[in-house]
Amino acid sequence: MVTSQHEVSHRIFQQQPELLTPVFRILGVPLPEKPSVEVITPDVTETRPLERWIDTLLRISAPDGSAFLLAIEAQMRRDPDKAASWGYYLSYLHSKYNIPALLLVVCQDKATSAWAMGPFRMGLSDWTALSVHPMVVGPGNVPMITDPEEIAQDFTFAAFSAVTHGRSPGHKAILEALVTALGSTGNRKTFDHYWQLVDAGLGDIPARAAWKDLIFMAADIYFPGQGTLAEEKYLEGKEDGIAEGEAKGKAEAILSLLELRGIPTPDDARERVTTCTDLDTLDRWFGRALKVTDADALFAEAADQSE
């Protein structure tokens, strides 16, 4: 079954071919300077009634006229039938277009990445008739980017890194840095584009829930008053539910907001927030949490005079 996670893993190269530059750098494979990239049909079906499709197929041309084909496959798990399919793809493409063809496999876990590297040999045990050597990118060689300033230099590669490391132990740090960098642009269109790209790429894994929580909170921090889902959820909390549940939710929102803004929260401040049951006070602290530079300023009554 084709999933959004599978589709994003390869279609991102169609929509944003600039991603090829850092990926080829990781693999140690030279890429022409200022190449032109053309998406071509992934159909590799012959006249026989056997349908074969590559996930993504690109033609990469250099200014001097030389070119090669790049077949991109998203692989979520080991598949013993892929060796024959990949060998067929490369042979067919080379024959049809009469230019070199390479295979890039995109994985999201280290075990699949290790398997996908092959090489896959076909023939007899004592004689190899054909050998397939895929290029592979996955958690083992795609860096984890946790610096918002570095992310701001290349959002596309940062989004690719976040999706690739969706199952890695350090995925939360990547997602937090990415959402901070996106919000700091002040550009709602950029923000929406990349949060939706990462959301689809993470599929149904647990990291997706963490990503949505971060996005909902960030939308209010960086784009308040625009009717975001996070804003609606917060306002609904004023009208629905039991007071104790409302207080707990508002306290968690305040602490999450401070964490997202990179403001340390001492244990005594954290306890004061979590034990407060007055909804008006929590609302006031939430408003301050958007602007304060340290946690103690949440509780300074003088803050009301400047609001």
Domain boundaries, the chain: 4-137, 148-229, 237-306
Q: What is the CA radius of gyration of the chain?
A: 24
Q: How far apart are CA 274 and CA 218, in angstroms?
A: 21
Q: How many CB atoms lie within 10 A of CB 139?
A: 22
Q: Report CA-CA distances (Å) from 55 to 82, 201, 258, 276.
A: 13, 15, 42, 53
Pick the closest to residue 144 from 118, 164, 124 (CA basis).
164
The strand order across the sheet containing 36-39 reads 36-39, 56-61, 67-74, 101-106, 135-137
Model pTM greater than 0.85? no
Decide: 212 and 174 in contact? Cβ < 8 Å: no
Nearest residue to 140 via CA among 165, 120, 162, 173: 165
Which amino acid belongs to residue 36?
S
User: Is the distance from CB of 139 to CB of 166 less than 8 angstroms?
Assistant: no
Q: Which helix (H) or strand (E) holds 29?
A: none
Cα-Cα end-to-end distance for the chain: 53
**Phi and psi at residue 134, to the nearest 5°:** -70, 150
Q: What is the dihedral of CA 272, 275, 277, 280, to 10 degrees?
A: 20
Report d(CA 40, CA 211) in Å as an integer.
33
pLDDT per residue, tens digit, the chain (307 aa), is 556 677 777 778 887 888 998 999 999 988 888 888 888 865 544 444 444 578 888 999 999 999 999 999 989 889 988 888 999 999 999 999 999 999 999 998 999 999 999 999 988 988 999 999 999 999 999 999 999 999 999 999 999 999 999 988 888 899 999 988 988 887 888 888 888 888 888 888 888 888 888 887 776 666 555 454 444 554 454 454 445 667 777 787 788 778 777 788 888 888 999 898 888 888 888 878 877 888 888 887 644 434 4
